[in-house]
């Protein structure tokens, strides 16, 4: 397999192209503009379409239109751009459009900052737009995973006819790592569900809120059944030394790499740390929490938010069986020592368990 | 004289109010698509509002993005499937208010897409609130004392903002009588032919009545367009490249 030394954002773009993406629309916003810039030359090279939309609102709806006509379509953004996407993404969901969006998280509220953050978690994982939905949310923690997740994202979205979100962050997006590059996939955009012009004697397709053309109660029941099935079948995670851990760290994305470092270092010091790394944030990998030993003294999220946003999912996943804490590092990436120090306090009983926000 | 049969594309009765102009326009478009033999080569982009109800009575493939975002969606449609016609039936609120940015962006790019904008001077589906096209002094659900330029600005005239653009076709028409219907049909066909010939962006604004929200009978609503609204605007073609 071909290897590239490549930036995370570019790996995400190239992974999507190799996964059959033939449409990209987006609007420049730091720290993800390399995705847009890569697509600007790469899409024409593969006979795809690149559009720099006049806004995020235009871009997300261009992506809807392209996907509705059958093309594997990606868009990407960050921070306030992701907020502007939410209406459009809700339309993708209601129409059952298997489009893919990448959010390369930056820290802050409103305009915020251009550096890394993980404080889009609630917006990304809890819905974001109006109505009952979660996006299938993948959380890469390396350049390789940026590429691999983008590569498989369309098949995952098409499997469920439901949008996929790749929730990356500025650190993963900006770092350069060696990356194995998968082969090009071909995709036939003349899918049975796609709009391609009504054929003689056939009924037209209308790509809209599906319930306009189906019985609402029946559709609702089928949708909930599908969402439950996704919850059951698509949970993904990585567990490191959880089976005998006194403290289990829970972290995704860039923070999970610190978490892994902390587990290795703490074990050298005789401190039994473990790590659960959610790879899907929805469905949240609740199954991973079943293997935590009863003797565990606490679960600690490491996340670049102020409010410890993921902690509430840890409480749900662990059914409140253990005390929970958050190392909420806001705009900074956590340090290994900081994590080990906190874990010591959990073991000694000095750490104070705060209420969730 | 036997009534003219609706083309096959109109597969059931429409859902519009009695006297609504949308149903007349939809029939015109259905006839043009049929006569040009492009029903199967057309992918409509719907707005959200009364206009969107064409999808329940016209057998043509359709996508429905959020309200007003047709300019963006049509642009993508035409790039992804350049062999298909990308056409919208828009409302005046969708095309000129919430979607003005997307409409203008498609026009300034001179994208090869076609807009038909139904101007009935109000947001009709939500109960007749003020639209950009609401007339001076016109009472609506959100301008109970009548539209005032000092409060709400002047009514929007698409010719004023698009006249200088490098686009293929810009026209205004109405459907108030058989002669105007025939004229509108010619403009609809011409606008679609611009797309066929890769000329670029076209927009036809159609003055249509909303008897329900205007509080007028269907006949009086038509007269209101002829006597009050149309005389305030330049009618006909102002760009034809």
Q: Give the pLDDT of chain B (241 residues) as one tens digit per residue.
A: 566 889 999 999 999 999 999 999 999 999 999 999 999 999 999 999 999 999 999 999 999 999 999 999 999 999 999 999 999 999 999 999 999 999 999 999 999 999 999 999 999 999 999 999 999 999 999 999 999 999 999 999 999 999 999 999 999 999 999 999 999 999 999 999 999 999 999 999 999 999 999 999 999 999 999 999 999 999 999 999 9
Q: Are B156 and B162 in contact (CB under 8 A)?
A: no
Tell me the C-alpha distance between A25 and A61, whole Å.
Answer: 9
B226 touches chain A (CB under 8 A): no
pLDDT at A16 over 90: yes
CATH of the domain at A298: 3.40.50.920
Structure tokens at A349: 């009983």
Name the strands in the sheet holding A23-26, side by side, starting at the edge strand that comes first in the sequence.
Answer: A49-52, A23-26, A73-77, A100-105, A164-169, A136-138, A280-282
What is the signed CA dihedral for A221, A82, A154, A206, rounded to 10 degrees?
50
Tell me the C-alpha distance between B80 and A21, whole Å.
Answer: 12
Minimum-distance CB partner of A64 among B58, B65, B81:
B65
* Tens digit of each residue's pLDDT (9 = 90 or more) over A211-225: 888 999 999 999 999
Distance from the A181 Cα atom to the nearest Cα atom in chain B, whole angstroms: 26
Percent of chain A at pLDDT > 90 equals 98
| Helix or strand (DSSP H, E) at B170 | strand B169-174
The radius of gyration of chain A from alpha carbons, rounded to an integer in Å, stands at 21
Percent of chain A at pLDDT > 70 equals 100
Q: How many residues does chain A have?
A: 357
Tell me the C-alpha distance between A340 and B182, whole Å.
Answer: 80
The radius of gyration of chain B from alpha carbons, rounded to an integer in Å, stands at 17
What are phi and psi for residue A227, nearest 5 degrees? -65, -40
Tell me the C-alpha distance between A62 and A26, whole Å.
Answer: 9
Among A326, A120, A60, residue whose Cα is nearest residue B66: A60
SS3 B100: helix
* Tens digit of each residue's pLDDT (9 = 90 or more) over A331-344: 999 999 999 999 99
Distance from the B190 Cα atom to the nearest Cα atom in chain A, whole angstroms: 21
Evaluate whether residue A355 is within a structural domain.
no
Distance from the A350 Cα atom to the nearest Cα atom in chain B, whole angstroms: 52
CB interface of B with A, residues 36-95, below 8 Å: 39-43, 45-46, 55, 58-66, 69, 71-77, 79-81, 84
Tell me the C-alpha distance between A28 and B100, whole Å.
Answer: 21
* Tens digit of each residue's pLDDT (9 = 90 or more) over A133-188: 999 999 999 999 999 999 999 999 999 999 999 999 999 999 999 999 999 999 99
Distance from the A198 Cα atom to the nearest Cα atom in chain B, whole angstroms: 5
Evaluate whether residue A36 is within a structural domain.
yes
| Local confidence band at A69 (pLDDT 50, 70, 90 cut-offs) | very high
A51 touches chain B (CB under 8 A): yes
* Tens digit of each residue's pLDDT (9 = 90 or more) over A310-321: 999 999 999 999
Mean pLDDT for A205-213 is 92
Structure tokens at B225: 């367009």
Of A233, A249, A274, the last residue of a domain is: A233
Q: Which domains does chain B have, with CATH numbers?
A: 21-240 (3.40.50.970)
Same domain for A44 and A168: yes
Of A233, A265, A299, the last residue of a domain is: A233
Partner-chain contact A66 B65, CB within 8 Å: no
For residue A56, the chain B residue with the least C-alpha distance is B72
Q: Complex ipTM, two decimals?
A: 0.96
Distance from the B101 Cα atom to the nearest Cα atom in chain A, whole angstroms: 8
Look at chain A and report how many structural domains it folds into. Answer: 2
In this predicted structure, what is the pLDDT of residue A211?
A: 87
Among A141, A138, A105, residue whose Cα is nearest residue A120: A105
pTM (global) more than 0.95 = yes
With residues binned 3-state (H G I as helix, E B as strand, rest as coil), the percentages for chain A, rounded to 5, are: 40, 20, 40
What is the residue-averaged pLDDT of chain A? Answer: 97
A54 touches chain B (CB under 8 A): yes
Minimum-distance CB partner of B43 among A49, A58, A195:
A195
With residues binned 3-state (H G I as helix, E B as strand, rest as coil), the percentages for chain B, rounded to 5, are: 40, 20, 40
Same domain for A155 and A51: yes
In this predicted structure, what is the pLDDT of residue B17?
A: 95
Same domain for A271 and A181: no
Same domain for A155 and A220: yes
CA angle (B6, B9, B15) in 5-degree steps: 75
In this predicted structure, what is the pLDDT of residue A67?
A: 98
A21 touches chain B (CB under 8 A): no
In this predicted structure, what is the pLDDT of residue A212?
A: 87
Q: Which of A25, A198, A210 to substitute to test the interface with B, most B CBs within 10 Å?
A: A198
Partner-chain contact A66 B77, CB within 8 Å: yes
Evaluate whether residue A198 is within a structural domain.
yes
Same domain for A140 and A25: yes
Mean pLDDT for A2-24 is 97
In this predicted structure, what is the pLDDT of residue B209?
A: 98
Residue whose entry in the numeric block shows the structure tokens 């606490």? A298
Structure tokens at A247: 């403290």
Same domain for A241 and A217: no
Of A184, A207, A233, the last residue of a domain is: A233
Q: How many CB atoms neighbour CB A131 within 10 A?
A: 9
For residue A204, the enclosing domain spans: 2-233
């Amino acid at each position: 397999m071909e290897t590239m030394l490549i930036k995370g954002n570019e790996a995400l773009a190239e992974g999507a192209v190799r996964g059959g993406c033939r449409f990209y629309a987006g609007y420049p916003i730091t720290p993800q503009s390399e995705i847009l810039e890569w697509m600007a030359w790469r899409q024409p090279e593969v006979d795809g379409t690149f559009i720099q939309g006049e806004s995020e609102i235009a871009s997300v709806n261009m992506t809807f239109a392209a996907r509705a006509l059958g093309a594997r379509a990606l868009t990407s953004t960050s921070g306030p751009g992701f907020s502007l996407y939410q209406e459009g993404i809700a339309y993708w969901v209601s129409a059952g459009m298997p489009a893919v969006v990448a959010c390369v998280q930056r820290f802050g509220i409103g305009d915020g900052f251009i550096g890394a953050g993980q404080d889009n978690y609630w917006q990304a994982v809890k819905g974001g737009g109006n109505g009952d939905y979660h996006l299938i949310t993948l959380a890469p923690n390396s350049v390789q995973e940026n590429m691999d997740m983008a590569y498989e994202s369309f098949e995952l979205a098409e499997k469920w006819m439901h949008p996929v979100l790749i929730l990356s962050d500025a650190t993963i997006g900006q770092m350069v790592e060696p990356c194995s590059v998968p082969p090009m996939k071909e995709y036939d955009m003349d899918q049975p569900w796609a709009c391609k012009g009504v054929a003689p004697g056939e009924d037209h397709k209308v790509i809209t809120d599906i319930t306009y053309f189906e019985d609402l109660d029946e559709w609702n029941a089928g949708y909930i059944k599908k969402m439950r099935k996704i919850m059951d079948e698509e949970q993904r995670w990585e567990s490191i030394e959880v089976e005998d851990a006194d403290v289990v760290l829970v972290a995704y994305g860039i923070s999970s790499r610190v978490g892994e470092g902390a587990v290795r270092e703490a074990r050298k010091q005789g401190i039994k740390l473990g790590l659960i790394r959610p790879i899907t944030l929805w469905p949240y990998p609740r199954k991973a929490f079943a293997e935590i030993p009863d003797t565990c003294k606490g679960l600690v999220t490491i996340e670049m938010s102020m409010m410890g946003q993921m902690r509430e999912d840890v409480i749900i996943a662990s059914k409140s069986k253990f005390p929970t804490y958050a190392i909420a590092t806001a705009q900074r990436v956590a340090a290994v020592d900081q994590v080990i120090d906190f874990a010591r306090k959990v073991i000694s009983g000095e750490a104070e368990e705060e209420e969730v926000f | 004289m036997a009534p003219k049969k609706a083309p096959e594309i109109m597969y059931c009765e429409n859902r519009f109010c009695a006297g609504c102009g949308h149903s007349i326009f939809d029939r015109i478009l259905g006839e043009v698509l049929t006569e040009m033999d492009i029903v199967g080569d057309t992918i409509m982009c719907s707005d959200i509002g009364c206009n969107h109800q064409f999808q329940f009575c016209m057998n043509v493939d359709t996508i429905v993005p959020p309200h007003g975002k047709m300019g963006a969606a049509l642009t993508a449609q035409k790039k992804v499937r350049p062999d298909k016609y990308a056409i919208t039936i828009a409302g005046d609120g969708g095309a000129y208010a919430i979607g003005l940015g997307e409409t203008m962006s498609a026009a300034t790019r001179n994208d090869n897409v076609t807009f038909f904008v139904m101007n009935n001077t109000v947001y009709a589906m939500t109960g007749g609130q003020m639209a950009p096209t609401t007339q001076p002094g016109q009472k609506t659900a959100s301008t109970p004392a009548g539209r005032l330029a000092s409060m709400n600005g002047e009514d929007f005239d698409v010719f004023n903002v698009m006249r200088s653009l490098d686009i293929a076709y810009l026209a205004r028409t109405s459907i108030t009588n058989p002669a105007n219907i025939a004229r509108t049909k010619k403009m609809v066909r011409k606008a679609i032919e611009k797309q066929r010939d890769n000329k670029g962006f076209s927009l036809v604004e159609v003055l249509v009545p909303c008897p329900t929200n205007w509080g007028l009978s269907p006949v009086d609503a038509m007269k209101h367009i002829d006597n009050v609204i149309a005389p305030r605007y330049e009618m006909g073609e102002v760009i034809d490249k």
